[in-house]
A and B are shown apart, each in its own frame.
Chain A
Amino acid sequence: MASKSFTLDDLKRTLREAAGVAEGVDLDGDILDTEFEVIGYESLALLEAGSLIEREYGISLDEEAVGEANTPRSFIEVVNAQLAPAKAA
């Protein structure tokens, strides 16, 4: 359990399932610090992705923090921040 954390691959898998991929976007490129808007995901897509993550990992995400996460790196940090206490509990 201690090794369980949310990775870029997990995020890509979730985004594909929640919202698909926009034309001309390569999710497998170097996107960690690319703004979501540039890779075709608006707030609703991220809301839907957050909802999938909450169900899959049994956690509750901070809505405000999700709203402010504008890159994959910051989004992953928001998820892992919730996964850590869940692990500790």
Chain B
Amino acid sequence: MTASVVVTGLGVVSPNGMGVKDYWAATLGGKHGIGRITRFDPTGYPARLAGQIEDFDAEELLPSRLLPQTDRVTRLALVAADWALADAGADPAHLPEFDMGVITASAAGGFEFGQGELQALWSQGSQYVSAYQSFAWFYAVNSGQISIRNGMKGPSGVVVSEGAGGLDAVAQARRQIRRGTPLIVTGGVDASICPWGWVAQLACGRLTTSDEPDHAYLPFDRDANGYVPGEGGAILIAEDADAARARGVRPYGEVAGYGATIDPRPGSGREPNLAKAIETALADADVNAADIDVVFADGAGDPAGDLAEARAVSTVFGDRGVPVTVPKTMTGRLYSGGAPLDLAAAFLALRDGVIPPTVHIDPCADYPLDLVLGEPRPAELRTALVLARGAGGFNSAMVVRAA
């Protein structure tokens, strides 16, 4: 018998809302967090829009001991983890330390911290480089700092698979729970809106050069011409269902199914493999396509990615066979943070019986999708599918079910 894994806590740090309550209210209200970059002067860069978190006071929320050794991304992740644990009613100080692990996703690590130390190295010399640079930049740093802060000594790690990473981390958390660790802190946060991080993101060639926040990141729109990057994500508390029940907490829902594939190499002429990931996730959850009540799409925001995703969804569900939404049109693409935020939105949608909207787009008629546009759509929701794709050919799909 395979243990059922549930999500009992959510911690959200999003450009359009900090904390579950603000994020969900903003998302249902169609309020976006995309604007011209203010964290540095973007004049002269080909892309100038981002989904930025404006009101985050790390000094208020974290002990001073953690500030000299953490990048912004880790501070966001630590606070999201605090909120998620509180939401789950889980006090790590009162749980056995080897019964808790941390598995998050990361696509970039701590770029802004690293930029500062490299500048110190070049302008002043090696003795001016912080000892904390040894780990503050690193992909695994969010997992490490969350585990240290909360005294969690169970299985820990990081999954790096760009935009798909958030789902892959939750899937790895589920594996570790099934192997016997009752609680895993999972999800992911990325944040690298600094000049060095921005240049690295520009190198992918898929950022939109639009200067209009409400006409920039346009997945499934004929005008789609790249994405707006953002910062943030979500941390989730995943638990063995029986352990959660024994603690007396009511979960948001179950991580019921997962599938992941890799695309054929570019130029091979073969089709992308997203549909196979969806089918694998449905089979894993033991549900049929007809059981899926809503799809949270990846929403690449470029014609090739949008076409591949629209084809995969219509292959599995039929033309306009299932409501599809892209709430990340309100945040920009958050790399590893995007899919965990979509998982949070999916669990909240299941809880409230409402599908959050996709904003800003005028859907291209070539894509046979039933997109939820502009306004939230009330619906009876029991099962949701979250899709996430990552640069490099990663496709992941996760089925979540109401508790």
Please give me the residue from chain B that is nearest to A50 by CB atom.
Answer: B131
> CB of A67 within 8 A of chain B?
no
| Complex Cα–Cα for A22 and B64 (A) | 7
> CB of B45 within 8 A of chain A?
no
> CB of B205 within 8 A of chain A?
no
> CB of A68 within 8 A of chain B?
no
Q: Which chain A residues numbered 28 to 58 have a C-beta less than 8 Å away from chain B? A: 40, 44-45, 47-48, 51, 54-55
Please state if B66 and A20 are interface contacts (CB–CB under 8 Å). yes
> Taking the nearest CB of chain A, how far is it from the CB of B327, in angstroms?
35
Please state if A48 and B65 are interface contacts (CB–CB under 8 Å). no
> CB of A64 within 8 A of chain B?
no
Please state if B132 and A48 are interface contacts (CB–CB under 8 Å). yes
Q: Mark B116-140, 1 if CB is under 8 A from A, else 0.
A: 0000000000011011101000000
Q: Which of B128, B130, B134 has the most CB atoms of chain A within a 10 A radius of its CB?
A: B130
Please state if A20 and B132 are interface contacts (CB–CB under 8 Å). no
Please state if A19 and B65 are interface contacts (CB–CB under 8 Å). yes
Q: Mark B93-132, 1 if CB is under 8 A from A, else 0.
A: 0000000000000000000000000000000000110111
> Taking the nearest CB of chain A, how far is it from the CB of B187, in angstroms?
24
> Taking the nearest CB of chain A, how far is it from the CB of B146, in angstroms?
15
> CB of B67 within 8 A of chain A?
yes
- What is the size, in residues, of chain A's interface with B at 8 Å between Cβ atoms? 16
Given known A-B contacts A44-B132, A44-B134, A51 and B65 have beta carbons under 8 A apart: no
> Looking at the complex, which one of A40, A47, A55 makes contact with B65 (CB distance below 8 Å)?
A40
Please give me the residue from chain B that is nearest to A60 by CB atom.
Answer: B127
Q: Which of B67, B68, B130, B131 has the most CB atoms of chain A within a 10 A radius of its CB?
A: B131
> CB of A23 within 8 A of chain B?
yes
| Complex Cα–Cα for A23 and B150 (A) | 13
> CB of A78 within 8 A of chain B?
no
Please state if A19 and B63 are interface contacts (CB–CB under 8 Å). no
> Taking the nearest CB of chain B, how far is it from the CB of A42, in angstroms?
10
> CB of B172 within 8 A of chain A?
no
> Looking at the complex, which one of B63, B127, B131, B134 makes contact with A20 (CB distance below 8 Å)?
B63
Neighbouring A residues of B314 by C-beta, 8 Å = none
Interface of A is mostly: helix
> CB of B201 within 8 A of chain A?
no
Given known A-B contacts A48-B132, A54-B127, A18 and B65 have beta carbons under 8 A apart: no
Please state if B64 and A51 are interface contacts (CB–CB under 8 Å). no
Q: Which chain B residues numbered 52 to 76 have a C-beta less than 8 Å away from chain A? A: 63-69
Neighbouring A residues of B128 by C-beta, 8 Å = 55
| Complex Cα–Cα for A74 and B64 (A) | 24
> CB of A16 within 8 A of chain B?
yes
| Complex Cα–Cα for A5 and B121 (A) | 29
Neighbouring A residues of B132 by C-beta, 8 Å = 44, 48
Q: Mark B234-256, 1 if CB is under 8 A from A, else 0.
A: 00000000000000000000000
> CB of A69 within 8 A of chain B?
no
> Taking the nearest CB of chain A, how far is it from the CB of B131, in angstroms?
4
Please give me the residue from chain A that is nearest to B66 by CB atom.
Answer: A20
| Complex Cα–Cα for A21 and B131 (A) | 17
> Looking at the complex, which one of A22, A23, A48, A55 makes contact with B131 (CB distance below 8 Å)?
A48
Please state if B68 and A22 are interface contacts (CB–CB under 8 Å). no
> Taking the nearest CB of chain B, how far is it from the CB of A10, in angstroms?
18
Please state if A20 and B130 are interface contacts (CB–CB under 8 Å). no
| Complex Cα–Cα for A23 and B63 (A) | 6
Neighbouring A residues of B66 by C-beta, 8 Å = 20
Please state if A47 and B64 are interface contacts (CB–CB under 8 Å). no
| Complex Cα–Cα for A55 and B130 (A) | 12
| Complex Cα–Cα for A47 and B127 (A) | 11
Neighbouring B residues of A44 by C-beta, 8 Å = 69, 131-132, 134
Given known A-B contacts A20-B63, A21-B63, A55 and B127 have beta carbons under 8 A apart: yes
Please give me the residue from chain A that is nearest to B69 by CB atom.
Answer: A19
Please state if A16 and B131 are interface contacts (CB–CB under 8 Å). no
A-B contact pairs, 15 of them (CB 8 A): A16-B64, A17-B68, A19-B65, A19-B68, A19-B69, A21-B64, A21-B65, A22-B65, A23-B65, A45-B131, A47-B131, A48-B130, A48-B132, A55-B127, A55-B128
